[in-house]
Amino acid sequence: MYTLSDFDYHLPEELIAQSPAHPRDHAKLLVYNRETGEITDDVFYNLGKYLPKDTKLVVNNSKVEKCRLMFEGGKRELFVTSVRNNNTIEALVRPGRKFKLGKTVELIEGITAEVTHVAEDGLRTMILSCDLDDPRLESYKYTPFPPYIEQNETLASEYQTVYAKDLGSKAAPTAGLHFTEELLESLKKQGIQKEEVTLHVGLGTFAPVKVENILEHDIHSEWYHINDETASSLNQTKHVTAVGTTSVRVLESVANDQGILSPGLGETDIYITPGYRYKRVDALITNFHLPKSTLLMLVAAFMGFNEMKRLYKHAIEKKYRFYSFGDAMLIL
């Protein structure tokens, strides 16, 4: 059985991408063939050279919310994780001592937040004195970039996929950031269709695994939707290429053991680790993930643990850019 330490690796800090490639589809692309073990280094706009002609791309059309509220130049912060109603929210806060249970905190002049509950993990339930969509709060809302990317609101539009529609994610489905409208049109002309599902990315996807026995980790659930038309279309195709781990989570959550997809919506807490047998994903486009993360475990389950280690070593040696704004990998 694999332990958490098995999924650790050293990444030089300069390989953590702080901004995306320009244009988006000019990111590097590492192509790995699971049958032959062959590695090819290319550029993302050449994706069509490698995809099977009969595949369908499954993308996550979730859109990133500006859920990070920062006041006093960032000295105080609410990271809204869920909205119960117009003015009752759950949020991570900073600094915690300012937001004690029962306290009413002034956020800006005329707007306060009352702390009504503090969970064991520090998550606060709060009642705002106005609606969350009050225009007075708009200038304090920021894009929730991951902590390893400096807050830079000029990159906000580039932290959305070109096909983002349904607002609800706390982080971007980053494998999809590499696509341009032109590349999608080019793939369409090749006969490669795009099908959309929705999975609202929550903080649980990025929550650190803190137990050495990875099977003891509790993964947070995330809301998903796959409609009748999409499920029917995919059930009629032989080959499916998932764009990103979030698309994988939807497909593998709704597939039965024969790989037949059922439409629906709900919450999924699927946790994929080595030993898992994939039911409906035949190829995967993904970025390079953080050490010890559940996303790295998902990728290792798809390509094999030893091969994952080999490819990550290759990517570091070839100076691929890592994480959300980094380069991509196609696993065939």
For the cut 90, the answer to whether the pLDDT of residue 208 exceeds it is: no
C-alpha 150/C-alpha 153 separation (Å) is: 9
Place 275 in a pLDDT band, splitting at 50, 70 and 90. very high
For the cut 80, the answer to whether the pLDDT of residue 204 exceeds it is: no
C-alpha 316/C-alpha 318 separation (Å) is: 5
Tally Cβ neighbours within 10 Å of residue 256.
Answer: 10
The predicted structure's pLDDT at residue 245: 97
From 72-81, 288-297, 308-317, the region with the lowest mean pLDDT: 72-81
Read off the amino acid at residue 114: E
Coil, strand or helix at 105: strand
Predicted confidence (pLDDT) per residue in 21-77, tens digit: 999 999 999 999 999 999 999 999 999 999 999 999 999 999 999 999 999 988 999
For residue 123, which of 84, 152, 159 has the smallest C-alpha distance?
A: 84
The predicted structure's pLDDT at residue 73: 87
Q: Are 155 and 19 in contact, with CB atoms under 8 Å apart? A: yes
For the cut 70, the answer to whether the pLDDT of residue 206 exceeds it is: no
The predicted structure's pLDDT at residue 269: 95
* Residue 287 neighbours by CB under 8 Å, 6+ apart: 174, 175, 244, 322, 323, 324, 326, 327, 328, 329
Predicted confidence (pLDDT) per residue in 95-125, tens digit: 999 999 999 999 999 999 999 999 988 999 9
Domains of the chain: 4-64+157-331 (3.40.1780.10), 68-142 (2.40.10.240)
